[in-house]
Amino acid sequence: MLKLFLPDDHVETVLEVTPEFLQNKGIKGVITDLDNTLVAWDQPEATPEVIEWFSELRRAGIQVTIISNNTEDRVSFFSKPLEIPFISKARKPMQTAFHKAIKEMGLSKDKVVVVGDQLLTDVFGGNRANLHTILVVPVVQTDGFLTKFNRKIERRLLEYFKRKGKLNWEDK
């Protein structure tokens, strides 16, 4: 059961999830979280770096869908100017939004990755949906109320995985 909280890969920033990285894995679609994955949870718009990241993926023919547990207003305000499909109020880690995103992309599960900053929502949900998961270091170290609670549990899970030799990266 605990292995469902273990990501397949780990990166410092979403910008490390390059078209080359994805193409080497045969990936054609990315499901990404929004808050603290792409931008700080309280930042309404994409940074120039994130806009360029989306452009690079688009040029490489890689589809992106944002799925977020946040409100439609929040996710729409971020996604629509970028013309990125999105699913708000996703209720991650439930699998419904992951399956919907895959279906809308028209891809098979083995061609899609999930990128997110939380073990309890993004990684757990992606793993439950049998997708390749990539954990990203949160953009900022502050969180909303519920996420603060999740982070305490995540720290314990990461400590457990580290003790068991299951992590293939080092804390920086």
DSSP 57-79: HHHTT-EEEEE-SS-HHHHHHHH
**Per-residue model confidence as pLDDT tens for the chain (172 residues):** 788 999 999 999 999 999 999 999 999 999 999 999 999 988 999 999 999 999 999 999 999 999 999 999 999 999 999 999 999 999 999 999 999 999 999 999 999 999 999 999 999 999 999 999 999 999 987 666 667 778 888 888 988 888 888 876 655 4
Q: How many domains does the chain have?
A: 1
Decide if 115 contacts 134 (C-beta within 8 A).
yes
pTM of the model: 0.90
Structural domain boundaries enclosing 32: 2-163
Q: Which amino acid is at 144?
A: G
169 occurs within a structural domain: no
7 occurs within a structural domain: yes
99 occurs within a structural domain: yes
